[in-house]
Amino acid sequence: MSAVQITLPDGSVRSYPAPVTVAEVAASIGAGLAKAALAGKVGGKLVDTSHRIEADAALAIVTDKDAEGLEILRHSTAHLLAYAVKTLYPEAQVTIGPVIEHGFYYDFAYTRPFTPEDLAAIEKKMAELAKADFPVTREVVARDAAVKFFLDQGEKYKAELIAAIPAEQEVSLYREGEFVDLCRGPHVPSTGKLKVFKLMKVAGAYWRGDSKNEMLQRIYGTAWAKKEELEAHLTMLEEAEKRDHRKLGQRLDLFHFQDEAPGSVFWHPKGWFLFQKLIAYMRDCQDAAGYVEVNTPDVMDRALWETSGHWFNYRENMFTTQTEDERIFALKPMNCPGAVAMYAQGVKSYRDLPLRMAEFGKVHRYEPSGALHGLLRVRHFTQDDAHIFCTEAQMEAECRDVVKLIFQIYKDFGFDNVRVKLSTRPDHRIGSDETWDILEGALAQALQHMGVEYTLFPGEGAFYGPKLEFVLRDAIGRDWQCGTLQVDMNLPERFDIHYVDADNSHKRPVMLHRALFGSLERFVGILIEHYVGAFPLWLAPAQAVVMSISEHQADYAADVAKKLKAAGLRVETDLRNEKINYKIREHSMNRLPYLLVVGDKEKAANLVAVRTRSGQDLGQMPVEDLIAQLGKEVAGRGSTA
C-alpha cells in the first residue's frame, strides 16, 4: 500500500497514505463538497465517486455546477426511469437510455402503449425510488456472464447489445436497489441525488434505429440540478409552443406542407415575399462585398459526384435517377461541385483571385420522414451558398471577411448573441494531415486575430475540410446553428483546378465554402419563432393595414393606402362592414406592424389614427408624417413593439 498524491484543479497537492476513493478525497476537503460530489475526473476521465485511485493523479470533483455533473444527473435519471418502469410493469423490457439535450430518454418494449396516466404513475414511482436513496454501485463482469444474466431476466434486447461486445471485453453493470442495468457510467453515488425531473412524452422508436426492426416506446424526460432550472425550462417550452413556426405559418398564411411532397414547402404569397426579401437582402450584402452571382444545374451525372467524393461519403442522402441509356444522375445535395465546374471554365490568373461566387442553389437531401420538422428540417431547400477561390496567402483574410459579414448580417436580424464552433478533422475524411493542419490553422488564426471566442469540437468537421459553425441564440434563449464557413484544399485537388501564378506556374487555389443563412427555409422558420411572427417593419410582408370605420370612409381609406404604396410601403386595406374593434383585434393577431384607422374625423382633417400591433396608440397624424416615420424605421431596420 503506497502513498498517493492527488493534484487538485487549483494546483494544490494532497497526500494520502494509501489508495483513496474520489469520495474520500472530497470528504477530506470538506463536508459540503462530499455531499455535493456526483463523480470525479481522474486524469481527464470521468469516474464514479467510489472509484479507487491507486497512483498519483490529477483529480477534479464533479458537482451539479459542472456541465459533466448535469449530464451525469440526467444519465442516472434515465436509469431511475427504467427502474420505475420495471417496478410497475415487470414484463416490460429495457433497451437503451441516453442523455440528450436538456434531458434523456429510455426505450422500452411493452405489450401496450404507455398512457399519460402511466407516465404520471412512473414519475411518482421515480420520486419514491429517489427518496429511498439507494446506493448506486458498479460491478465489472465477463461479457458472456452479463449476456446470461440478462437472458435469465428475460431482457433479450439488453442481452443482444452485450452480445455485440467483443468476447474478451469485460462489461460494467450498475445496481440500484433491485434494478441492474448495463452501463459504462459513471453514475451518481445514490438515487437520493436525483430530485428534480419530469417525464415529458412518449413516442415510437425502432429498435436500434432500423425501420425493419420492431417498434419500441420511447419515454422522454428532463432533469436538472435545481427546481428553479426545471421551472425555467418548462416555461421556455411553453413559450416555444406559442412560437411554433408551423402553427404561425398556417395562421399567418405563409406556407404549408402536404403528403404529396414530403419535406418540400408550398410557399404562399406572404411567405414567398419573406423568402424573396431574404434573397434580396443577401444579394445587396454580397454585391457590396465583391461577390458575383452564378447558377448551376440541379441534376448532374454520377461521375461528378464520384470526383467530389460525395458519391462515396454522402450517397445515402442523395436522390438519384437512371436514364434510358443507363446514365445515373443525382439531384444535387450540395452546390460545391457545380461551383468547381464553373471555376474550371477558362484559364484563371492570380489576378482573378480571390473569386467570390455566390449561388442561391436549390439542393435535395433525403432525410428520414421521422426527422422532417416544418421548415427546420426539409428535403428540398435553398442555400445562400458562396464559394471563394483564393490563394493560400489570401485564405485567412478571406475567412476574416466572411466572419465579419456573418456577424453584421445576424445583427440586422436581431441576433446579437452569436457563438462560434470550430469543428476539426473527422475520422472519415479525405486529404492529408498536413493539409488539414493548414486549413484548421487558417480558421483558428482568423478568429484569434479578430478577437472572436470559439469552442473547439474535435472530429466534427466535414469529410473534406474543417468548418466554423455560427450558433444564434433567440429571444427565449434557444440556440440555432445557422451559418457555416469551411476551408478546403481537397476538392480543388480532386477536380484538378488551378490558377496561373505570377511566375507562370500552375498552382491550386484554396476553396472556401460559405453559407450565411444556411438554409433559407430554415432561417425563415427561425425568424418566425424568434419574432413570434411579428417581423420588424422592413421585413414584414405587409407593413400596415388601413381600416375604415364605416363604408363612408372607404374612398378615403383607399386613397391613404394609395399614397403609402406610392411611397414604397406594403399596405393592405380592410373596408369590410365589421366593427372596428374586431378588425383591430384580427390584424393585431396577424402581426401587422401598423394599424391605421380612418373615420369621419380623420377623413375631414386629412389624418389617420395610428396604432401598433402591440396596442400602442400613437394618435392622429398627417399621412405625410406617417410616411416619413415609417420610412425612417425601415431605413434603420427598427422593430415595432
For residue range 444-477, what is the model confidence (pLDDT) as tens digits?
Answer: 999 999 999 999 999 988 877 899 999 999 888 8
State the catalytic residue, choosing from 125, 193, 310, 365: 365
Q: What whole-number distance in Å separates Cα of residue 570 and Cα of residue 491?
A: 45
Residue 408 annotated among the catalytic residues of the structure = no
Instruction: Estimate the crossing angle of helix 269-288 against helix 395-412, to 10 degrees.
Output: 140
Give the tens place of pLDDT for each residue, 162-173: 999 998 888 999
Angle of helix 623-635 relative to helix 554-566, nearest 10 degrees, comes to: 40
pLDDT given for residue 638 in this prediction: 52
Residue partners of 45: CB distance under 8 A and separation at least 6: none
What is the spatial order of strands in the sheet that 544-548 belongs to?
571-574, 544-548, 594-598, 607-612, 617-622
Q: Is the pLDDT of residue 266 over 60?
A: yes
> Which residue of the set 51, 364, 387, 514 is catalytic?
387
What residues contact 294, with CB distance under 8 A and at least 6 apart? 339, 342, 357, 358, 359
State yes or no: pLDDT of 182 exceeds 70.
yes
> What whole-number distance in Å separates Cα of residue 25 and Cα of residue 6?
8
Q: Is the pLDDT of residue 213 over 80?
A: yes
Which pLDDT score is estimated for 555?
95
Which residues are within 8 A (CB) of 125 and not within 5 positions of it... i.e. 6 or more apart?
84, 87, 88
109 — pLDDT class (breaks 50, 70, 90): very high
Residues with Cβ within 8 Å of 180's Cβ and at least 6 positions away in sequence, in order, are 149, 153, 173, 174
Q: From 181, 176, 178, 177, select the one nearest 149 (Cα to Cα).
A: 181
Any idea which architecture 544-635 has in CATH? 3-Layer(aba) Sandwich (3.40)
Q: Are 355 and 339 in contact (CB under 8 A)?
A: no
- Where are the domains positioned within the chain? 4-62, 67-240, 255-299+334-531, 544-635
C-alpha cell at 320: 438519384
User: What number is the average pLDDT over the span 396-421?
Assistant: 94
Q: How far apart are the C-alpha atoms of 599 and 13, rounded to whole Å?
A: 81
385 given a catalytic annotation:
yes
β-bridge mates for residue 468, sequence order: 422, 485
Quickly list H helices, 289-432. Answer: 302-308, 310-313, 336-343, 395-412
Please identify which of the residues 187, 332, 336, 401 carries the catalytic annotation.
336
Q: Which fold would CATH assign to domain 67-240? A: Threonyl-tRNA Synthetase; Chain A, domain 2 (3.30.980)
Please tell me which residue in 41, 75, 513, 591 is annotated as part of the active site. 513
Examine the residue annotation and report whether 256 is marked as an active-site residue of this protein: no
CB 70 within 8 A of CB 178: no
Domain 255-299+334-531 has CATH 3.30.930.10: yes
Q: Is the pLDDT of residue 640 over 50?
A: no
Distance separating alpha carbons of residues 238 and 453, to the nearest angstrom: 32
Q: What is the structure's pLDDT at 210?
A: 81
Q: State the average pLDDT over residues 281-289.
A: 96
Inter-residue contact 244 to 529 (CB < 8 Å): yes
In this predicted structure, the answer to whether residue 5 has a pLDDT above a threshold of 60 is yes
Q: What is the pLDDT of residues 233-264, one digit of tens each?
A: 999 999 989 999 999 999 999 999 999 999 99
pLDDT in the model for residue 639: 44
pLDDT tens across 355-381, in order? Answer: 999 999 999 999 888 788 999 999 999
CA-CA distance, 526 to 538, in Å (whole number)?
Answer: 17
Return the bridge partners of 184, or none. Answer: none
Q: What is the CATH number of domain 4-62?
A: 3.10.20.30
Catalytic residue (choose from 93, 217, 286, 383):
383
Active site residue 5: no
- What are the tens digits of pLDDT across the range 524-554? 999 999 999 999 999 999 999 999 999 999 9
**Is 362 labeled as catalytic in the residue annotation?**
no
Residue that has been written with the C-alpha cell 421521422 in this structure: 370
Sign of CA dihedral 268, 270, 276, 282: negative
**CB count in 10 Å sphere of residue 622:** 12
- The one catalytic residue in 107, 385, 401, 474 is 385
Residues 106 and 218 sit within 8 Å (Cβ to Cβ): yes
pTM of the predicted model as reported, rounded to 2 decimal places: 0.82
Whole-number pLDDT of residue 1: 59
So what's the pLDDT on residue 641?
A: 36
Q: How much is the CA Rg of the chain, to the nearest whole Å?
A: 30
The angle at the Cα of 230, spanning 229 to 232, to the nearest 5 degrees, equals 65
Coil, helix or strand for 637? Answer: coil
Is residue 387 annotated as a catalytic residue, yes or no? yes
The whole-angstrom separation of Cα 413 and Cα 529 is: 13
In this predicted model, what pLDDT tens digit does every residue of 32-77 receive, in sequence order? 999 999 999 998 899 999 999 999 999 999 999 999 999 999 999 9
Average pLDDT, the chain: 93
Instruction: Based on the residue annotation, tell me whether 383 is a catalytic residue of this protein.
Output: yes
Given the residues 86, 218, 467, 522, the one annotated as active site: 467
pLDDT of amino acid 23? 96
What pLDDT is attached to residue 324? 87
- Please tell me the distance from the alpha carbon of residue 292 to that of residue 286, in angstroms, as a whole number: 8
Residue 177 region, left (φ>0) first, then alpha (ψ -120 to 50), else beta? left
Q: What is the pLDDT of residue 430?
A: 78
Over 70: is that where the pLDDT of 582 sits? yes
pLDDT at 313 (0 to 100): 81
Taking the CA atoms of 60, 63, 64 and 68 in sequence, report the sign of the dihedral they define. Answer: positive
pLDDT score of 605 more than 50? yes
Distance CA(134)–CA(530), nearest Å, equals 44
Contacts for 191 with CB less than 8 Å, ≥ 6 apart: 76, 80, 129, 130, 132, 133, 134, 136, 176, 177
Where does residue 217 rank: exposed (0-12), middle (13-18), buried (19+ CB within 10 A)? Answer: buried
